[in-house]
Homo-oligomer: A and B are copies of this chain.
Amino acid sequence: MKRSVLKFGGSSVADFMKIKEIAGYLKSRIEQDEQLIVVVSAMGKTTDDLLASVSHLTADPNDMDLAMLLNTGEQQTISFLSLALNDMNVRAKPLTGYQAGIETTGKHLKSKISSIKTDFLEELFDSHDLLIVAGFQGFNKAGELTTLGRGGSDTTAVAIASALDCPCEIYTDVTGVFSTDPRIFPEAKRWEKISFEEMMEMSALGAGVLETRSVELANNHNIPLYLGKTLSKEKGTWIVPNDQMLERKAVTGVALDKEMAHVTITYPLETKTFLTDLFIKLEEAEINIDMISQIQNQDGLQLSFTFKESEERELNQLFDALKESYTNLYVKIETTYCKLSVIGAGMRDMTGVASKIFKTLLASDIPFYQVTTSEISVSYVVDEQNGEKATRLLCQAFNL
């Protein structure tokens, strides 16, 4: 019997009509002799509403309490979906993260999955056609409820698919993976297939379709991943192992990340422990950074990196703490930049990509402040106001 994990995001289950439609679709899949595990997020804006309501009670919410509160969002969706399915005579069973045995480690609101009770899930399939698992949530060793942080429901879905060794289909309101954001460049192409490697770069660089950790997890376990539009007949995109890509284009896509910010730190040459201290503290605070580069000039050493705009407060707290030990630190945070990335698994075999990018930006007088490269991507920090224009120019230049 074929088995798949399907994930539906918050906008796909935003109201009762949509939940009923999804239940109908799931029933049609079950009738084709499939076994399904369905992962759902909280309905529509539920999570945001819950977070907003907390401000009535405290300005500095406790992580453990917040995780417990947010858990109720997905628990409501799984109950509603199960009610709809059981009404259609599908033998469905809803499971919270705790019940599905999704054990996590790390901070309450940024947990990572450490194990899943697959034996229990297998056992449930003896008497059920379909299991509904609450996305985004788990529990830690102390038995406390946790959430997986950003993009958490995708991670839940891919982790379950990995544990059960079956394909994973992620449904959102986007039809698949495009060469760039169609809202910026309407002529953008949708790929039928893309390699894990490219998808990881696309995600990491802010394409926003799927969080990097989900793609990484699917890649590590060799789980076929599908991205499609909820209840749409249009074909989506399959993300496949790198060696299954027969034909390669030099450049697959252009990703624009506006949610990033940029920091430059200047510090004297003689403060040898600074870098180590900084990176230990970044790890402790679980702040993800990117595009790290360092140069030495007449002022001393200068370190730049990008980070998520949403983590600015935490980063500032971190620098305040560091300044107590390193008094000669000079920190400049810039939030009006954005990150533009050109991605392509074929890039490493080809030449001319970087020079074409430079020429394109130069021809339109778009300045850039930092450049970093990976095996299959080149990233630029440019002014936020130039981001969309540069994206369109590069898509045209590379015929995407």
Taking a contact as CB atoms under 8 Å apart, the answer to whether A57 and B98 are in contact is no
A87 / chain B contacts, CB cutoff of 8 Å: 57-62
The range of chain A's interface size is 35 or more
* Complex alpha-carbon distance, A80 and B84, angstroms: 29
A68-94 interface code vs B (CB 8 A; 1 in, 0 out): 110110011011101110110000011
Q: Are A76 and B83 also in contact (CB < 8 A) when A16-B56, A20-B57, A99-B143 are?
A: no
Nearest CB of B to A98, in Å: 7
Q: Are A65 and B83 also in contact (CB < 8 A) when A72-B72, A72-B76 are?
A: yes
Taking a contact as CB atoms under 8 Å apart, the answer to whether B53 and A65 are in contact is no
Residues 24 to 66 of chain A near chain B (Cβ within 8 Å) = 50, 53-54, 56-62, 64-66
Chain B residue nearest in CB terms to A142: B99
- Max count, chain B CB within 10 A of own CB: residue among A60, A68, A80, A84: A68
Taking a contact as CB atoms under 8 Å apart, the answer to whether B83 and A61 are in contact is yes
Determine how many copies of this chain the complex contains: 2
Taking a contact as CB atoms under 8 Å apart, the answer to whether A79 and B66 are in contact is yes
Taking a contact as CB atoms under 8 Å apart, the answer to whether A19 and B79 are in contact is no
A66 / chain B contacts, CB cutoff of 8 Å: 79, 83
* Complex alpha-carbon distance, A137 and B223, angstroms: 38
Of B69, B75, B94, B143, the residue contacting A83 (CB under 8 A) is: B69
Q: Are A57 and B94 also in contact (CB < 8 A) when A75-B68, A75-B71 are?
A: no
Nearest CB of B to A57, in Å: 5
Q: Are A58 and B75 also in contact (CB < 8 A) when A80-B69, A94-B65 are?
A: no
- Max count, chain B CB within 10 A of own CB: residue among A58, A78, A96: A58
* Complex alpha-carbon distance, A144 and B99, angstroms: 8
Taking a contact as CB atoms under 8 Å apart, the answer to whether A54 and B68 are in contact is no
A20 / chain B contacts, CB cutoff of 8 Å: 56-57
A75 / chain B contacts, CB cutoff of 8 Å: 68-69, 71-72, 75
Q: Are A80 and B98 also in contact (CB < 8 A) when A75-B75, A86-B65 are?
A: no
A254-267 interface code vs B (CB 8 A; 1 in, 0 out): 00000000000000
A143 / chain B contacts, CB cutoff of 8 Å: 99
* Complex alpha-carbon distance, A79 and B65, angstroms: 5
A57 / chain B contacts, CB cutoff of 8 Å: 16, 19-20, 80, 83-84, 87
* Complex alpha-carbon distance, A267 and B185, angstroms: 80
Nearest CB of B to A8, in Å: 15
Which residues of A come within 8 Å of B, CB atoms? 16-17, 19-20, 50, 53-54, 56-62, 64-66, 68-69, 71-72, 75-76, 78-80, 82-84, 86-87, 93-94, 96, 98-99, 143-145
- Interchain Cβ contacts under 8 Å between A and B, 6 examples: A20-B57, A59-B87, A68-B79, A68-B82, A68-B96, A72-B76
The 7 A-B pairs at the shortest CB distance, nearest first, are namely: A69-B79, A58-B87, A16-B56, A72-B72, A62-B86, A65-B82, A57-B84
Known: A17-B56, A54-B80, A68-B82. 6 other contacts (CB 8 A): A53-B80, A58-B83, A58-B84, A68-B78, A69-B75, A69-B79
